[in-house]
Structure 1
Amino acid sequence: MSVFMDLNLSFTAERSRLKTLIETAAHLGFSTVAINYVFEPATKKKQEIPTPTPIKELIDELPVVQGRYRPIRVLNRLTVVMSDSSHFRPNAAEYRCFDLLSVQPTTEKLFHAACMIYDVDIICISVTEKLPFFFKRAPVNGAIDRGVVFEVSYSAAIRDSTRRRYTIANAISLMESCKGKNVILSSAAEKPLELRGPYDITNLGLLFGLSDRDAKEAVSSTCRSVVLHAETRKSASGIVYTMKTCSESSSQQEAPPADSGEAPAAKRAKLHLTD
């Protein structure tokens, strides 16, 4: 059974609405969601990076995921909307408060830098307007090699017919360059009615030009890779997961006692010499 994730639920100051968003996501079968704080620096007026609100202050008890019988996992995410290179500060201490870090470049130069240089987890593709640049194969492949993913959100297509055209056009343009690799589909929902189930999103991915397999991975395994990439980025050295396999455990049970004094290989060599 796949683990589905929606890594973009828009933050709102109304706690009741945010609580309803999380509960709806759990009811639809999402095991992990991310509360997205959008930071758009002004060109003249200095603004401070938002501080994520602890989840315990937003909701008293996390809802149980439907079909999973475990509480939903809630992450914090920061999205920096970049219209200038100075808007992204790689060493900012405020970034460390967030589990996921993403950027939304608005120019071709910034998109190239986000793909090749910036240490982020997600590159957001604007869906509310026509992009002023084309996706080139070189920077897109560079981002894929670095483990950075591209995000296409669908809630804007629900709100307005014009944005629906931009969403489909920009998504198809991206898929032609990345061939469906390292793409996640998220909601960017502000209201519970803008959320869709994982299989509905998979069908939407087909409209964007994804294959059946890539569309399903865009809401499951690729999202999991994003979370692991974020943990690796914060640890600076990497993360190793270990698990005991059935063959390994059975071989340990069949191994001779430790007090035998000889390893199995040594015994075989001794028998061979004797023969």
Structure 2
Amino acid sequence: MAVFADLDQRVGYNPKALCIAVSELFTTLPIVQGKSRPIKFLTRLTIIVKNPSHCNVLRATSSRIWLYDIIAVFPKTEKLFHVACTHLDVDLVCITVTEKLPFYFKRPPINVAIHRGLGFELVYSPAIKDYTMRRYTISNALNLTQICKGKNIIISSAAERPLEIGGQYDVANLGLLFGLSESDAKAAVSTNCQATFLHGGTRKTAFGIISAVKKPQPSEGGDDSLQACKKAKCEG
């Protein structure tokens, strides 16, 4: 981890969220303590959703979930992708890049996700390791960017070794291969990442806002005039 931190500091990534994958489900979520020296570390929870029951942990009111700075979800089916975009209280929706997409992206759920402020994460380190995964990475990224028009895209490394981490400008240039414009590619490694962090902060501090409007009461003068009109009508 120290090697990753030193390298990321040199190439200009700050703050940084490190991800540690686990291969089994657990009943209690671990509490991860972030450190702010020498760079700021963020805590992130990524949940791989293969069936609807996996969404229960996100719908629960567990206090441990809200301790994480970023909550991401990795849906494996079209139905779960739709649920993640429209209903789940998360910050990121992860897109598979190591295999062919099991479904086609549709505009309505993606537009809802963009309106809700969710980000779509694409990772590039698999493209460095293998030609087949490179082909899937570019193809899946193009399918996504054509639907979302380059909005709310985040490009991450998901690196397992320091050599798999690219500099910000190199990653932004990679975004051009993903079908992003120059401005959208730069945003994918800068402002969109910051927006996701702020979205997570909002999620941690507020569950919702209720607005109540008091119904105006009719004036006494209005009641008198109404009664007078009714009386005049009856007399006539």
Tell me: higher relative CO, structure 1 or 2? Use CA pairs within 8 A at least 6 residues apart. Answer: 1
Task: Give the one of 16, 30, 42 matched to 1:33.
Answer: 16
Aligned ranges 1:18-57 → 2 under 5 Å = 18-38=1-21, 47-48=26-27, 50-56=29-35
Deviations 1:109-149 (A, max 9, x none): 00000000000000000111111100000000010000001
Could you tell me which residue of structure 2 aligns to residue 160 of structure 1?
Answer: 130
Distance 2:195 2:129 in 1: 29
Aligned-pair identity (%):
48
Kept in 2, the 8 Å contact 1:38–1:80? The answer is no
Larger Rg, first or second structure (1 or 2): 2
Task: Please provide the CA RMSD for this pair.
Answer: 1.7
Distance 1:127 1:49 in 2: 29
Could you tell me which residue of structure 1 aligns to residue 153 of structure 2?
Answer: 183
Moved over 4 A (4+): none
Name the amino acid aligned to 2:80. L
Name the amino acid aligned to 1:120. V
Distance 2:120 2:70 in 1: 13
TM-aligned CA deviation for residue 162 of structure 1:
1.0
Task: Normalising by structure 1, report the TM-score.
Answer: 0.71
TM-aligned CA deviation for residue 93 of structure 1:
3.3
Aligned length in residues? 205
TM-aligned CA deviation for residue 192 of structure 1:
0.6
Q: Whose strand fraction is larger, Structure 1's or Structure 2's? A: 1
Name the amino acid aligned to 1:137. R
Name the amino acid aligned to 1:62. R
Distance 1:132 1:49 in 2: 30
Which residues of structure 1 form unaligned runs of 5+?
Answer: 1-17, 64-71, 239-275
Name the amino acid aligned to 1:28. V
Which residues of structure 2 form unaligned runs of 5+?
Answer: 209-236
TM-aligned CA deviation for residue 52 of structure 1:
4.4
SS of corresponding position for 2:179? coil
Distance 1:49 1:215 in 2: 37
Distance 2:76 2:107 in 1: 18
Kept in 1, the 8 Å contact 2:125–2:165? The answer is yes
Distance 2:92 2:22 in 1: 14
Could you tell me which residue of structure 2 aligns to residue 223 of structure 1?
Answer: 193
